[in-house]
Structure formats: C-alpha cells, structure tokens
Amino acid sequence: MDSEMKKTNAEWKKELPSEVYHVTREKGTEQAFTGKYLNNKNEGMYICSNCGTMLFSSDTKFDSGTGWPSFTDAVNREHIKLQEDREEYGMSRVEVLCKHCGAHLGHVFDDGPADKGGKRYCINSCSLIFKGEG
C-alpha cells in the first residue's frame, strides 16, 4: 500500500464509527440510496472520513441514478489510488482508495458523462466528510 498514514486495524476500529470502519477498512459498501451525501447539492469539498485528505469537489458531483454519490474526477489524482478489485464474485472492477490512509472509498467505472471524461467515481457517503464553502 502506498499510504503514508500507518495505523493498525485495532486503532482504526477504536477511532471510527462501526459503519465507517466496515466500509473504509473492510471494503464494505453502504446500501444504495441511503448515504447522507447522495442528494447533497451544496458547494464545497468532500474529504476522506478517515484522515481528512481532500478527495472530490462538488463541482464534479453528478446524479448518476445509481444510489451512491458520483463524481467525474478526483480533486487531485495524487490523493487517490486505483487498484484492480476481483473480490466480489470474480468481477473485475477498479477500486478507489485514499492514497494517504488507504481507506476504501468505492469504485470507478467507465459509464460517466462522456463530455466530462466518461468516468464515474462511485463513492460511499460514509467514506467522506463534506466541508461546505463559506
């Protein structure tokens, strides 16, 4: 892992709420259409819920209809790590991780808006904290 922040699973488990720990440290997925940021239309920045690294801007958020917050790009690709994920039913997907702390954020797919690069970063709300502008 390229992560700079080194903590044990026990340390993370003490610090994080159980759902956040499950999704970000055990590579879980929150239930579709339940995440607190799915319908957030406010302007601001989405940061990692584990370490505070800036990940996504509201400027790149769009309604994908999939049930999870979706973004066309990361605020800085140096802040994320992409890696192949074959863990679920032999499917091949691309996992999105916070490069600083290694938190599982979600997955990226090639079915995003064509005029914005064609990517859909499908991200779990509980892996994020929203910081509004102003």
Strand-pair category, 54-57 with 93-98? unpaired
The number of C-alpha atoms within 13 Å of 133 and in the hemisphere containing its C-beta is 8
CB 49 within 8 A of CB 93: no
* Catalytic residue (choose from 48, 98, 101, 122): 122
Q: Concatenate the DSSP letters of all residues of 23-65 into one string.
A: HHHS---PPTT--TTTT----EEEEETTT--EEEEGGGEE--S
12-42 residues labelled b (16+ CB within 10 A) or e (exposed): beeebeeebbbbbbeeeebeeeebebbebee
101 tagged catalytic = no
The residues assigned a catalytic role are 122
